[in-house]
Structure 1
Amino acid sequence: MSKQDALLIIDYTNDFVDDQGALTCGKPGQQIAQKIIELADQTLKDDGWVILPTDVHKPNDLFHPETKLFPSHNVRNTWGREFYGPLKQWYELHQDDEHVWMMDKTRYSSFAGTSLDIDLRARDIRSLHLTGVCTDICVLHTAVDAYNLNYDITVHESAVAALTTEGQEWALNHFKSVIGASVVK
């Protein structure tokens, strides 16, 4: 990666990854932790950017469409919204680095209703490396928006996880065959 690359670690929180999480990928999500840390370390070493778009909600928000679809999750200031496992320690170690930042998002896509596109363009970032969860929900919607905004997209297969095997396979195929993303092991 280079200074024109950004690694996005999407929604890697306790609610989405831990066994006790409200909407967890479980073991598949837990098994990608080390790969995410390796990619984050390499990105910083290469003078790239590590961005952590992180879902945030209010409990039982009547005006948010996900309230009808999923149990309450990633509520601000709760254990469920904390980064999962080794990412929590990694972020605590690197949070003051100007090349690392966490950002709130309230929709599936990291671009929807956020300043992400403006922030990326201000830093002349052209290539996005996607990791995190869920492959077929938030990673997918972020990738589609990145495609529509003309970013080069790489999805790290060994650093994304979905709620189901079928969802994982479908999304990985969609990245390749529909939006022309590079899917790497």
Structure 2
Amino acid sequence: MRAFVYDQARELDASAFADYLDPRTTAVISIDMHRGHLDDSPDCPCPAPRARELVAPIDAFHDQVRALGGRIVHVKSVLRPGGADDVGGIPSAWRRTFPLHIGPIPNADAHAIEGSPWTEWVTRVEPGDLRVENKRRLSAFYPTDLDFLLRNQRITTVVLDGGFTDCCVLNTAFDANNHNYRVIVLRDLVRGTDAHLEAAALSMVSLHLGLVMESADLLDQWRANRA
């Protein structure tokens, strides 16, 4: 089984990670693939341009997961109208710190506001998929009902795709690990602020939180387990 440890490809004994590789107890968590990050408009309130290239590959991966009977949970950031739980209260830290690196974000206050076009999905969501639509901070677990949903589905492993690798994906990986889930992050289906931070985040996952794999390698393992 191929995985990546500190950014280096390694062949691992799949039997040593059997609890990570059972598709029956696994859910794919797709994070923040919505217009608020992916729209190419200058009004995009929190642009993640490196993640735009992931839309078609993520859709293709999800189709293969569905074909294998796997479960997919789409998670997105949504704030109350008026921003009572963010800009209208105690603003998220990134609103002050991220612009120090990338410069001003003209429409940042519109990010993730309920009912706005910025919360519309860009990746495809099928009727049989599950959704968590009240992510208010960086982790898909806080303060959402994702943990409740996963435990009711008897999920023990989460597979993460989406963005940002060094922000919401990494925070979700830490929270999943702290909730005692097995964690897999798909390095070909996540994108970070830049290549440097992306590699750093994936290296941290590989050392402390779980497996870093390519989506094709994971699908091969699932098909082998089903056979």
Partner of 2:46: 23
Which is greater in Rg? 2
Partner of 1:111: 141
Which structure 1 residue ranges, 5 or more long, are not aligned? none
Identity %: 24
Partner of 2:179: 149
Q: Does 1:129 align with 2:159?
A: yes
State whether residues 10 and 132 of structure 1, in contact with CA within 8 Å, keep that contact through their aligned partners in structure 2.
yes
**Which structure 2 residues correspond to residues 23-172 of structure 1 after superposition, within 5 A?**
23-26=46-49, 28-57=50-79, 58-59=82-83, 60-66=87-93, 67-69=95-97, 71-72=108-109, 73-84=111-122, 87=123, 90-91=124-125, 94=126, 96-97=127-128, 99-172=129-202
Which structure 2 residue ranges, 5 or more long, are not aligned? 1-21, 99-107, 216-227
Distance in 2 (alpha carbons) for counterparts of 1:15 and 1:163: 15
Q: Which runs of 4+ in 1 moved over 6 A?
A: none
State whether residues 154 and 184 of structure 1, in contact with CA within 8 Å, keep that contact through their aligned partners in structure 2.
no
State whether residues 39 and 47 of structure 2, in contact with CA within 8 Å, keep that contact through their aligned partners in structure 1.
yes
Shift of 1:82: 1.0
Shift of 1:182: 2.9
Distance in 1 (alpha carbons) for counterparts of 2:141 and 2:46: 22
Q: Does 1:10 align with 2:40?
A: no
After superposition, the CA RMSD in angstroms is: 1.8
Q: How many residues align?
A: 176
Shift of 1:110: 0.8
State whether residues 2 and 43 of structure 1, in contact with CA within 8 Å, keep that contact through their aligned partners in structure 2.
no
Distance in 1 (alpha carbons) for counterparts of 2:40 and 2:210: 33
